[in-house]
A and B are shown apart, each in its own frame.
Chain A
């Protein structure tokens, strides 16, 4: 496919980004750069200085809501991307209401309990919706351990499946960037197979 054909196709689709931190902000920007139709950005958090080691924000955005800062950054890349931003800590009910119309969901939480909530909610309420998760990307090196796996007919997982964040194993730009762009790359591949 030519780039124009790719852009024409994915401009018809909406991707929900569940969490706009390290994984979500970078995956959203990657999808924006290739002309995704719409991004639904959901996050409750505010940009902090400590986020700048991996998240797609800038020093002068510290203190802003992440979804607003990310939307502003995406508009500077491509003003034609449709953006919907929601400041909210997602729970089961919110997932059911907000993501019903999205064609694909990118799970981009930092917290394992939130990842579990989203996965179980999607399995239970959206049995045909595609979900791409990030699972295990703290630290550095270990590129050969990072992989993508189709978990069932609708759930895909990117990561090393083992590296948990800790004080001595922080999430950092290179490895978080790899996994978030794997998620965006897989989203592109799967959207190109969907018809609309």
Chain B
């Protein structure tokens, strides 16, 4: 399947995967992530239930301390 991850096109194996599976597969190892699928916020406790499928747009933002 093909998705758009942070505005970049990504080719992934399989037909669908959860947000958490995507995070692991793409090696986002940081703790403080904000995720959205097709412009809808996916909170941390929803990441095992929300699926990413072909054509979806996913945003993953890593938040950093300092200010």
Q: How far is the CA of A23 from the CA of B65 in the complex (A)?
A: 12
Contact with B along A6-34 (1 / 0, CB 8 A): 00000000000001011110000000000
A171 touches B64 (CB 8 A): no
Number of residue pairs spanning A and B whose beta carbons lie under 8 angstroms apart:
69
Residue of chain A at shortest CB distance from B62: A161
B66 touches A165 (CB 8 A): yes
Q: Chain A, interface size: which category?
A: 20 to 34
- Contacting A at CB under 8 A, from B32-67, are 32, 34, 36, 39, 41, 43, 59, 61-67
Q: A135-B61, A171-B66 are in contact. List 15 more A-B contacts (CB 8 A).
A: A22-B67, A109-B67, A110-B65, A111-B65, A112-B64, A115-B32, A116-B32, A120-B43, A123-B36, A124-B41, A134-B66, A134-B67, A151-B59, A163-B64, A171-B67
Binding site for A on B (CB under 8 A): 32, 34, 36, 39, 41, 43, 59, 61-67
